[in-house]
């Protein structure tokens, strides 16, 4: 009697045969050399189809630790601003976890708070103003105690470009948008004397002073006070008429418009297109004693930056970062400007930025920490009267920016390293070309 052979189990043929082979190799090596997440997910689904409970551990492409391995603890600080998104998304979308990191995000409340916690080791790293370490190193931002600490902060990578703004009170609306003569006439004519920035020598302080100078407004001669205020407190200070305007990151400019108390007189991408803004700043101890951990932090942030630059993810981003523990703003206050859709307020209409609004990756150009930009900021410190003479700017940039580490991590992630550093570039607002080889010329410019 002929016996009919039972149909073969699916695992005897086809793709599952490859999975049996997969079990014989180190799974992390397989994932790393065979396409990372996408192939890992495919292998996992094949194992599931075979009824196996041994799905391979999934690690991010280029990751150095499996997702189910022991996690390395890291504490990162941030401020309640839209551009904290790379850290928040890396946390909430699981990118840190994929690199074997147990990251705690802590709100530093103010930039001096972030500075101090970086210096005393409470924060391993933080979302911080790009120019903050240079402000501290040169004494523009003074610290108490051991002055050797002043030069101990390091810039590992950039987090974003663009997306800040200068807001003025509605009764100054004759200043218009990006109209320097009108701004000068209105501010001086109305006797506006107090404006907010967020940290001496910080990016917002620099954008505000640069804009005033370009408009021909001498803040000292006109008795204008530029007060340091934590970003989340800017709108309340405007609402209570403690200031007549301010420079800050989003969403606190959008909030002034939403509450009909202020208007955007310029977005910073119209001051300097693709300017540096926030950076991942770390302390020296973390950079030297935990270099491998820092590398994985940077890799996870690269992943988050790529995700953020996909415009299809803007709505979800606004919801994730808008919650109380991160930004504490409505998704509507965040989403429009992330999309590049600006309601300027005060009857000035709308302005659309197509690809030059706040950006987080831009084909690898955003994360690159340029030494030329650091030299530019230090030249402004002298130009604005923070310092009486130019510091050793290139030397400090070499010391503070972790260029070699960045290049190593970027290369491992397939991210290009721009070859434009230390080359001249133009500031859009006043059409001035800055040569980082000659910072003294900028420092002396009126």
Instruction: Note the pLDDT of residue 26.
Output: 36
Q: Using one digit for the tens of pLDDT, what is the confidence trace for 433-442?
A: 999 999 999 9
Average pLDDT for residues 105-109, to the nearest whole number? 98
Looking at the predicted structure, is the pLDDT value of residue 144 above 50?
Answer: yes
CA distance 204 to 166: 9
Average the pLDDT over each of 32-46, 217-231, 429-443 and give the range with the smallest value. 32-46
Rounded alpha-carbon distances, angstroms, from residue 380 to 150, 207, 245, 267? 19, 10, 21, 20
Instruction: Note the pLDDT of residue 35.
Output: 38
Instruction: Note the pLDDT of residue 341.
Output: 98
CA distance 393 to 439: 8
Q: Using one digit for the tens of pLDDT, what is the confidence trace for 66-86?
A: 456 789 999 999 999 999 999
Instruction: Note the pLDDT of residue 146.
Output: 76
Of 54, 58, 55, whose CA–CA distance to 66 is shortest?
Answer: 58
Instruction: Look up the pTM and report it.
Output: 0.86
Looking at the predicted structure, is the pLDDT value of residue 13 above 80?
Answer: no
Looking at the predicted structure, is the pLDDT value of residue 262 above 50?
Answer: yes
Helix, strand, coil % (nearest 5) of the chain? 45, 15, 40
Looking at the predicted structure, is the pLDDT value of residue 379 above 70?
Answer: yes
Helices 203-214 and 371-383 cross at an angle (nearest 10°) of: 60
Domain 164-270: CATH class, spelled out: alpha beta
Looking at the predicted structure, is the pLDDT value of residue 381 above 70?
Answer: yes
Instruction: Note the pLDDT of residue 147.
Output: 75
Percent of all residues in the chain with a pLDDT value above 70, rounded to a whole number: 85
CA distance 425 to 420: 9
Instruction: Note the pLDDT of residue 6.
Output: 38
Average pLDDT for residues 16-23, to the nearest whole number? 34
Q: Using one digit for the tens of pLDDT, what is the confidence trace for 291-311?
A: 999 999 999 999 999 999 999
Domain borders along the chain are 1-58, 72-162+275-336+349-426, 164-270
Q: Using one digit for the tens of pLDDT, what is the confidence trace for 174-220?
A: 999 999 999 999 999 999 999 999 999 999 999 999 999 999 999 99
More confident residue, 18 or 236: 236
Instruction: Note the pLDDT of residue 67.
Output: 54
Identical fold for domains 72-162+275-336+349-426 and 164-270, yes or no, is: yes
pLDDT-derived band at 97, boundaries 50, 70, 90: very high
What are phi and psi for residue 56, nearest 5 degrees? -70, 145
pLDDT-derived band at 11, boundaries 50, 70, 90: very low
Task: Indicate the SS3 state at residue 177.
Answer: coil
Architecture of domain 72-162+275-336+349-426: 3-Layer(aba) Sandwich (3.40)
Q: Using a CB cutoff of 8 Å and minimum separation of 24, what contacts does 204-207 make?
A: 204/129, 204/164, 204/247, 204/248, 204/249, 205/247, 206/131, 206/377, 206/380, 206/384, 207/164, 207/166, 207/247, 207/268, 207/271
């Amino acid at each position: 009697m002929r016996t009919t052979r039972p149909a073969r189990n699916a695992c005897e043929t086809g793709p599952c045969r490859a999975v049996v082979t997969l079990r014989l190799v180190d799974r992390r090596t397989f994932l790393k050399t065979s396409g990372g997440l996408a192939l890992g997910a495919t292998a996992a689904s094949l194992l599931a189809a075979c009824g196996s409970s041994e799905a391979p551990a999934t690690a991010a492409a280029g990751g150095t630790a499996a997702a189910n391995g022991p996690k390395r603890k890291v504490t990162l600080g941030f401020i309640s601003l839209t551009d904290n998104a790379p850290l928040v998304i890396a946390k909430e979308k699981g990118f840190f976890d994929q690199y074997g990191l147990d990251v705690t995000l802590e709100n530093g409340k103010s930039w001096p708070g972030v500075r101090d916690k970086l210096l005393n080791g409470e924060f391993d790293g933080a979302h911080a103003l790009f120019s903050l370490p240079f402000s501290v190193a040169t004494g523009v931002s003074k610290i108490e105690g051991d002055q050797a600490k002043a030069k101990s902060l390091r810039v590992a990578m950039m987090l974003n470009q663009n997306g800040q703004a200068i807001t003025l009170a509605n009764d100054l609306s004759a200043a218009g948008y990006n109209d320097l003569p009108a701004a000068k006439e209105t501010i001086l004519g109305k006797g506006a004397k107090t404006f907010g920035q967020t940290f001496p020598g910080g990016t917002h302080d620099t954008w505000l002073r640069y804009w005033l100078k370009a408009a021909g407004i001498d803040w000292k001669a006109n008795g204008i006070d530029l007060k340091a205020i934590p970003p989340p407190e800017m709108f309340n200070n405007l609402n209570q008429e403690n200031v007549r305007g301010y420079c800050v990151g989003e969403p606190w400019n959008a909030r002034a418009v939403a509450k009909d108390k202020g208007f955007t007189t310029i977005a910073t991408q119209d001051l300097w297109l693709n300017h540096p803004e926030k950076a991942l700043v770390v302390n020296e101890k973390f950079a030297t004693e935990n270099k491998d951990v820092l590398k994985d932090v940077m890799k996870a942030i690269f992943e988050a930056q790529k995700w953020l630059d996909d415009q299809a993810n803007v709505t979800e981003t606004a919801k994730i970062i808008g919650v109380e523990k991160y930004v504490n703003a409505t998704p509507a206050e965040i989403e429009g400007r992330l999309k590049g859709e600006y309601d300027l307020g005060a009857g000035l209409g709308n302005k659309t930025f197509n690809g030059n609004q706040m950006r987080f990756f831009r084909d690898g150009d955003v994360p690159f920490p340029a030494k030329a930009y650091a030299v530019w900021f230090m030249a402004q410190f002298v130009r604005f009267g923070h310092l009486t003479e130019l510091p050793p700017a290139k030397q400090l940039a070499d010391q503070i920016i972790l260029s070699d580490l960045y290049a190593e991590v970027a290369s491992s992630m397939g991210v290009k390293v721009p070859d434009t550093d230390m080359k001249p570039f133009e500031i859009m607002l006043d059409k001035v070309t800055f040569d980082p080889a000659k910072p003294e010329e900028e420092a002396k410019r009126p």
